[in-house]
Amino acid sequence: MMAVTSSCKEGNKIAMDNGKYVRYTPEQVEALERLYYECPKPSSMRRQQLIREYPILSNIEPKQIKVWFQNRRCREKQRKEASRLQAVNRKLTAMNKLLMEENDRLQKQVSQLVCEKSYFRQQSQQQAGLATTDTSCDSVVTSGHQHHLTPQHPPRDASPAGLLSIADETLTEFLSKATGTAVEWVQMPGMKPGPDSIGIVAISHGCTGVAARACGLVGLDPTRVAEILKDRPSWFRDCRAVDVINVLSTGNGGTIELLYMQLYAPTTLAPARDFWLLRYTSVLEDGSLVVCERSLNNTQNGPNVPPAANFVRAEMLPSGYLIRPCEGGGSIIHVVDHMDLEPWSVPEVLRPLYESSTLLAQKTTMAALRHLRQISQEISQPNVTGWGRRPAALRALSQKLSKGFNEAVNGFTDEGWSMLESDGADDITLLVNSSPGKIMGINLSYSNGFPSVGTAVLCAKASMLLQNVPPAILLRFLREHRSEWADSGIDAYSAAAIKAGPCSLPMSRGGSFGGQVILPLAHTIEHEEFMEVIRLENMGHYRDDMIMPGDIFLLQLCSGVDENAVGSCAELIFAPIDASFSDDALIIPSGFRIIPLDSGTDASSPSRTLDLASTLEVGTAGNQTTGDRSGRCGNSKSVMTIAFQFVYEIHLQENIAAMARQYVRSIIASVQRVALALSPSNFGSHAGFQSPPGSPEAQTLARWICQSYRCFLRMELLKHEGSESILKSLWHHTDAILCCSMKAPPVFMFGNQAGLDMLETTVVALQNVSLEKIFDENGRKALFAEFPQVMQQGFMCLQGGICLSSMGRAVSYERAVAWKVVNDEENAHCICFMFINWSFV
């Protein structure tokens, strides 16, 4: 027994009968180590076999070999834990350093604000004194104000010497924003710093344009970080292209690059942006690597790129990346984005998209840090794959989906898009593209002899404004309930057009929603974006002329489903995939994008579709300073952009155009219907899960639930506080409470806030979730075995277990209670379940 209870550190000693220890010989230790790497936990039979196979171990008892392996496993576990704790300690040390620097910066900002307050108080007192003696100051103030509104700046010299001067000035201004007080930064709501968080994120307050700042830790060296961030199209989804026009070397070892950059427009209602930039890369005296950028809009004596057609020239104020090496490996990075996106060039209702620092932080600044963290994780865990594909390949597929959708929304002429004539209504815009680059890979013949289907691509797109509809909840509904808006025949046609037959993919079942099965594929670290394969079941009968047996598969990209994220954009982009599902597969994406707008401006009706040419005016925004005007998702209005692409034969263009118009209009009508159902002003609202459904039927059901619980379990379900109604108390109960119908198959008909959170669904979508779908096979057997007990004695208790949300996520619960809910006539109305202490696994 002494050998069994010995310390893990005594692994290289033999326990003798007299209680003393004798060390293993080096040869024995070497043999045991080699065997340990082959099999860390050998069975009793295997240990006896080892003694016979290795004579050097013949003088060791099997029991002693068992103890050696136990101690060796213990030491391995301790080593891994020590390594993990060291990594956490390095993160905490670096984060502490970061927080101390941030605290110093904030103290400087406070001192500066105190000085400014004192100065303005003195100035106001002096002006008040002058106003009593000299009224001519009004004209002086007015004149000065007018001069401030129209500043005159002479053109900057863009010769090599002039560019070096601009680069040094850009570096100084950028560093003052990254680590100084040049901009008044306000912490972004909902962002908490910590070793596992993305970092410290702040947005500007009261400065020109929009600005965001972030600092965090990444497990990559500074050179690699700079290389990744310079390749902006690889991580910034709105970046169409970055062209390097010229490169100059500086005397201090730095590099000046002249860049031309284009950004996609987020909606069909606004033009795209482009930038003419200077990028300066240099190394500071402390070894930090700096990449800073600014616009060269007002220069002379040097190269220049005029604004392209269909683009608005925007301005980038000094921005960039400060990358410092971190002790123990990795980097501390400061990111600053500061832009003037020319909001005057878009309709008044859309200007919040271009005046929101929060939106800039979400789409650009935080995207940079998230991408770096994703790359770092992929390097540290290279064996993690999704369905046999490397993370980099899956990332490339998601970028392909996003880029294809952006191309459809923008429809640039240099990519081959041309507009079709309108049918008299301006709600839907149709574009066609028959360029070789677009149709490459589409002209394929079927193996059964049918001719190829497509020789061109048609895109039908529209934008609409929605009021009081949370983007995250609306997008979740569109994702989970495809049958509510999609046409199965058109899905089959789109799959046939790229020869997408039955797909041989692993059938690990995820969530299932009315004819579609969601198969998870990959997700980012923070789960803010995930990719999945959608299996549309039994679709072969929709196209008699195309032999398409079995199911159809879509590759789908989803982001922005967290309604607690501030200012985030929600997207659902999908494309049919062929049977091979190869990395270079043809991708013709369609989908939805919902962007929250400012809560302070007037909102249009949720059922109104807007067109730029017919219903919106473009004016001037004036010379105003902008801070964050982005409202919380779901409490005001948002703009939804819809774009669907169809592959077709040229001679069928007129028919396909009519079909596309009709289809997109039907989708808009479906979205309007869902938006009205999800609006807080309607029963069944689930906007932010703030209030329970308040119909008389819901009030009555809540009363029956509580009465039945008291009757059968002899205890109270609710602890009433104050004058709260039963329904309100039930709605805010901490445990998940769900009611299902008595008829087969039992489907859910009511859920409180916790229940809807657990199932990851909405009040409107709850009725499409059946009881048997949330349990695995063992759970269903246990449930149905005990179900008669509910009908006989009125209740039953279930042991803790695992169930599934509507998204296919595993949910653990400590225990569950089910009871029969009876109405006022003592007749069984439904079955109520309460899942206690549940959490996502």
Residue 724 pLDDT? 62
Residue 780 pLDDT? 78
pLDDT tens-digit readout, 198-231: 778 899 988 889 999 998 888 899 999 999 999 9
Residue at 344: amino acid letter: W
**Lowest-confidence region among 18-32, 610-624, 713-727:** 610-624
Enumerate the H helices of 15-61 as residue ranges. 26-38, 44-53
Contact in structure between 421 and 431 (CB atoms under 8 Å): no
CA 731 to chain centre: 28
pLDDT tens-digit readout, 635-662: 468 899 999 999 988 888 899 999 999 9
Q: Measured between alpha carbons, how far is 85 from 79 in angstroms, rounded to an integer?
A: 10
Contact in structure between 693 and 763 (CB atoms under 8 Å): yes
**Residue 585 pLDDT > 80:** no
Comparing 573 with 761, the larger pLDDT belongs to: 573
Span 399-442+452-539+549-599+636-678 CATH architecture: 2-Layer Sandwich (3.30)
Query: What is the CA angle 383-389-392, rounded to 5?
Result: 80
Residue 808 pLDDT? 73
Looking at mean pLDDT, say which of 64-73, 166-175, 763-772 comes out highest: 166-175
The stretch 488-507 carries a mean pLDDT of 62
Q: Measured between alpha carbons, how far is 732 from 691 in angstroms, rounded to an integer?
A: 9
pLDDT tens-digit readout, 442-454: 544 333 434 444 5
Cα dist. 678→476, 671, 674, 682 in Å? 11, 10, 6, 7
Number of other residues whose CB lies within 10 A of the CB of residue 539: 22
**Residue 138 pLDDT > 80:** no
Q: Measured between alpha carbons, how far is 530 from 373 in angstroms, rounded to an integer?
A: 15
**Lowest-confidence region among 96-100, 246-250, 291-295, 774-778:** 96-100
Q: Measured between alpha carbons, how far is 737 from 594 in angstroms, rounded to an integer?
A: 31
Comparing 526 with 674, the larger pLDDT belongs to: 674
Give the domain ranges of the chain.
37-110, 160-384, 399-442+452-539+549-599+636-678, 733-840
Residue 318 pLDDT? 95
Q: Measured between alpha carbons, how far is 569 from 129 in angstroms, rounded to an integer?
A: 52
Comparing 269 with 785, the larger pLDDT belongs to: 269
| Residue whose C-alpha is closest to residue 630's, from 361, 356, 349, 365 | 356
Residue 650 pLDDT? 86
Q: In the structure, what pLDDT confidence band is assigned to residue 815 with cuts at 50, 70 and 90?
A: confident
Residue 730, burial from CB neighbour count under 10 angstroms (0-12, 13-18, 19+): buried
**Residue 11 pLDDT > 70:** no
pLDDT tens-digit readout, 712-739: 888 888 876 544 688 888 988 889 999 9
Comparing 126 with 64, the larger pLDDT belongs to: 64
Pick the CATH number of 733-840 from 3.30.450.20, 3.30.420.40, 3.40.50.300, 3.50.30.30: 3.30.450.20
Q: In the structure, what pLDDT confidence band is assigned to residue 587 with cuts at 50, 70 and 90?
A: confident
Contact in structure between 317 and 338 (CB atoms under 8 Å): yes
Residue 567 pLDDT? 59
Q: Measured between alpha carbons, how far is 739 from 751 in angstroms, rounded to an integer?
A: 6
Residue 384 pLDDT? 54
**Lowest-confidence region among 152-161, 369-378, 511-520, 533-542:** 511-520
Comparing 118 with 351, the larger pLDDT belongs to: 351
**Residue 812 pLDDT > 60:** yes
Residue 633 pLDDT? 38
Q: In the structure, what pLDDT confidence band is assigned to residue 281 with cuts at 50, 70 and 90?
A: very high
Residue 213 pLDDT? 93
Q: In the structure, what pLDDT confidence band is assigned to residue 568 with cuts at 50, 70 and 90?
A: confident
The stretch 335-351 carries a mean pLDDT of 91
Identical topology for domains 160-384 and 733-840? no
CATH class of 160-384: alpha beta
Q: Measured between alpha carbons, how far is 8 from 81 in angstroms, rounded to an integer?
A: 14
Transcribe 531-566 into DSSP letters. Answer: EEEEEE-S-GGG-TTS---S-EEEEEEEE---TTSS
**Which three-class secondary structure string do you get for 138-173?**
HHHHHHHHHHHHCCCCCCEECCHHHHHHHHHHHHHH
* Residues contacting residue 744 through CB under 8 Å, at least 6 positions apart: none
Helix (H) or strand (E) holding 356: none
Per residue in 803-840, is it b (16+ CB within 10 Å) or e — as a string?
bbbbbbbebebeebbbbbbbeeeeeebbbbbbbeebee
In this structure, what token pair is assigned to residue 589? Answer: 């994406």
**Residue 372 pLDDT > 80:** yes
Q: What's this model's pTM, rounded to 2 decimal places? A: 0.66
Residue 21 pLDDT? 57
In this structure, what token pair is assigned to residue 577? Answer: 């995939």
Number of other residues whose CB lies within 10 A of the CB of residue 504: 10
Q: In the structure, what pLDDT confidence band is assigned to residue 17 with cuts at 50, 70 and 90?
A: very low
**Residue 604 pLDDT > 60:** no
Q: What percent of the chain has pLDDT over 90?
A: 26
pLDDT tens-digit readout, 56-91: 887 887 888 888 888 888 988 888 888 778 777 777
Comparing 238 with 17, the larger pLDDT belongs to: 238
pLDDT tens-digit readout, 656-694: 999 999 999 999 999 988 888 777 654 333 333 334 555
**Residue 550 pLDDT > 90:** no
Q: Measured between alpha carbons, how far is 514 from 91 in angstroms, rounded to an integer?
A: 45
Residue 114 pLDDT? 74
**Taking all residues of the chain, what is their mean pLDDT, rounded to a whole number?**
77
Residue at 534: amino acid letter: I
Query: What is the CA angle 542-544-548, rounded to 5?
Result: 70
